[in-house]
Amino acid sequence: MKKNLSHKEIMAIKRVKMPEQDAQERSRNFKEVNLGLSKEQAIREAQRCLQCKSQPCVDGCPVRVRIPEFIEALAEGDLPEAAHILLADNTLPAVCGRVCPQEDQCEIRCVRGAKSGPVAIGYLERFVADWAMEHPEELPTGSTPQASGKSVAVVGSGPAGLTMAGELAHMGHSVTIFEALHDTGGVLRYGIPEFRLPKRIVDLEVTRLQNLGVTIECNIIVGKTMTLEELSEQFDAVFIGNGAGLPVMLDLDGENLKGVYSANEYLTRVNLMGAWRSDFPTPIIHGRQVAVIGGGNTAMDAVRTARRLGAERAIILYRRSEAEMPARIEEIIHAKEEGIEFILLAAPLEILGDEQGWVTGLRCQKMELGEPDASGRRRPVPIAGATFELEVDVVVNAIGTRANPLLTATAPNLKLSRKGNIETDSTGATNLPGVFAGGDIVRGGATVILAMGDGKNAAAAIDAYLNKGA
């Protein structure tokens, strides 16, 4: 037990390594890459935490998980208590433990980082969350909150909407989620692949919300099936968390050739529609040589998916250098281990095709880095005359997404930014009374945990709004 460990002993423990599926093997299957820590590994890693008074890690977490507290309980082997603390702060810990960029948030602030590597907060979060899912009977049963008699409509069942729903349900409000697709989870379902986030996890997290009394209605496209106005009339408050689901097109010649996909379509076919499974009818083109354009998580997920669908060459084409890639480091490392090729400092100029309309290649421009741009990253500039061709049979565009105007087009009074994102104040309130928003629809493409932070934050504001109205 921790109490028996001296400072020196604590400092001597090395950061745990996540057990992983063998790279060669996993590059041909869709099973989860990270296998999770054993209980012994988790407790030992938890013992590395110094229980800093200032808790710098907590400041890095958008939902302010009480990190040292849950880690302390874990270090003492008290799993029910660790789970209790974690679940109180984070509605979707099994998801966050897998997909959050801890390296930029909590772990980057960990005081142990400088010398021996930060405490593996993400791995521990995942361990405790998975344990809680497998041992529901050992969790303390929270008292059911008293019903407030107020109702809230939540648009979208991505991380923002799910977090919002969980928070409000805990406060005793009656919540209905309206989801456009036939299944829940947003990007967690249709975007992030099975090998990084098993859909069983999303199902379990959603079931937990339903057990709290949250109602979920799929197949409702707000703006088409129902309007925002109707929701405002039928509910005491509305939260919009409909994401940034519109693909940005490359705008290049050849973009409409067969075999050219937006990452949204490619990943949706595979994840939501099960194209990777032989027992599902959804078709997808299994490229032998696949180029994915972009350097974010979406690009990594798409290229690693292509590899698993059988691509001999699966290539990332990115216009800056690796240092500027927005993808998580873990994803980049995993991709390399799986044999993904990185062609950096190159941008597509034209997609080439044959007479039957199938893509056959990419003509690319070599780039070099110039002065920093508005994002602070060095701007890629074309090297005059330096072009080359790549032979490919599938191209996936993963350069980004923006706000989908379906909902906002039918709510003319809702204040939007120039880019079409919904504008809110710091509490998540929009300019319309009783209408709140958060997640990618407000921020543009961001992260799961920022969307969840918005959901949590706005839930407090909605609660205050509802109580004021009472």
Partner 1 sequence: MFEVLQNDTLAPNVHRLVIRAPRIAKARKSGQFVIVHPEQGGERIPLTIADADPQAGTITLFVQAVGPSTLQIVGTPAGGSLQDIAGPLGKETEIERWGRVACVGGGVGTAVLYPLARALADADNEVTTIIGGRAKPFIILADELAEFSREVLITTEDGSLGRQGFVTNALQELIDDPERCPQAIFAVGPVPMMRAVCELSRPYGIKTIVSLNPIMIDGTGMCGGCRVKIGNETKFACVDGPEFDGHQVDFALLVDRLTMYREQEAKLIGELPPELQKKIIKVKK
Chain residues binding ligand FAD by CB under 6 A are 99-101, 155-161, 178-181, 186-187, 191-192, 220-223, 241-243, 245, 267, 297-298, 301, 328, 404, 406-407, 439-440, 445-449, 451
Question: Cα-flanking dihedrals φ and ψ of residue 84, to 5°?
Answer: -60, -45
Q: What is the dihedral of CA 234, 215, 178, 403, to 10 degrees?
A: 120
Who's near 111: CB < 8 A, 6+ residues apart? 50, 52, 56
231 binds, among ligand SF4, partner 1, ligand FAD, none (CB under 5 to 8 A by kind): none
> With binding defined as CB under 8 A, does residue 14 bind partner 1?
no
Is the CB of 200 or the CB of 224 nearer to partner 1? 224
Both ends of the chain: CA-CA distance in Å? Answer: 50
Q: How far is the CB of 470 from ligand SF4 (least distance, A)?
A: 39
Given a contact cutoff of 8 angstroms between Cβ atoms, the answer to whether 98 and 202 are in contact is no
Is the CB of 118 or the CB of 247 nearer to partner 1? 247
Is the CB of 49 or the CB of 244 nearer to ligand FAD? 244
Binding site for ligand SF4 (CB under 6 A): 49-52, 55-57, 67-68, 109-112, 119, 121
Given a contact cutoff of 8 angstroms between Cβ atoms, the answer to whether 339 and 354 are in contact is no
Q: Give 48-76 as a DSSP string.
A: T----SS-HHHHT-TT---HHHHHHHHHT
Binding residues for partner 1 restricted to 383-442, rule: CB under 8 A: 404-406
Is the CB of 223 or the CB of 380 nearer to ligand FAD? 223
Binding residues for partner 1 restricted to 19-58, rule: CB under 8 A: none
Q: How far is the CB of 294 from ligand SF4 (least distance, A)?
A: 32
Given a contact cutoff of 8 angstroms between Cβ atoms, the answer to whether 189 and 181 are in contact is yes
Separation of alpha carbons 470 and 467, rounded Å: 5
Q: How far is the CB of 201 from partner 1 (least distance, A)?
A: 18
> With binding defined as CB under 8 A, does residue 214 bind partner 1?
no
Q: Which of 23, 52, 139, 246 binds partner 1 (CB under 8 A)?
A: 246
- Going by their DSSP bridges, the two strands 359-372 and 346-353 should be labelled as antiparallel
List the 260-262 sheet strands across, edge first. 260-262, 394-397, 289-293, 313-317, 341-343
Who's near 375: CB < 8 A, 6+ residues apart? none
Is the CB of 118 or the CB of 243 nearer to ligand FAD? 243
Is the CB of 262 or the CB of 289 nearer to partner 1? 262
Stretch that binds partner 1, among 87-95, 213-221, 231-239, 388-396 (CB under 8 A): 213-221
Q: What residue spans of 171-317 are helical by DSSP H? A: 187-190, 199-211, 228-234, 263-270, 297-308
Q: Which of 92, 317, 331 is nearest to 193 (CA)?
A: 331
440 binds, among ligand FAD, partner 1, ligand SF4, none (CB under 5 to 8 A by kind): ligand FAD
Q: How far is the CB of 49 from ligand SF4 (least distance, A)?
A: 3
388 binds, among ligand SF4, ligand FAD, partner 1, none (CB under 5 to 8 A by kind): none
Who's near 254: CB < 8 A, 6+ residues apart? 260, 350, 351, 352, 353, 359
Name residue 363's beta-bridge partners: 350, 389
241 binds, among ligand FAD, partner 1, ligand SF4, none (CB under 5 to 8 A by kind): ligand FAD
Is the CB of 69 or the CB of 338 nearer to ligand SF4? 69
Q: What residue spans of 212-246 are helical by DSSP H? A: 228-234
Q: How far is the CB of 374 from ligand FAD (least distance, A)?
A: 20
Name residue 260's beta-bridge partners: 395
Q: How far is the CB of 111 from partner 1 (least distance, A)?
A: 43
Binding residues for partner 1 restricted to 160-189, rule: CB under 8 A: 180-182
Q: How far is the CB of 285 from partner 1 (least distance, A)?
A: 7
- Site for partner 1, rule CB under 8 A: 180-182, 218-221, 224-226, 245-247, 249, 255-256, 258-259, 261-262, 264-265, 268-269, 273-274, 279-283, 285, 356-357, 404-406
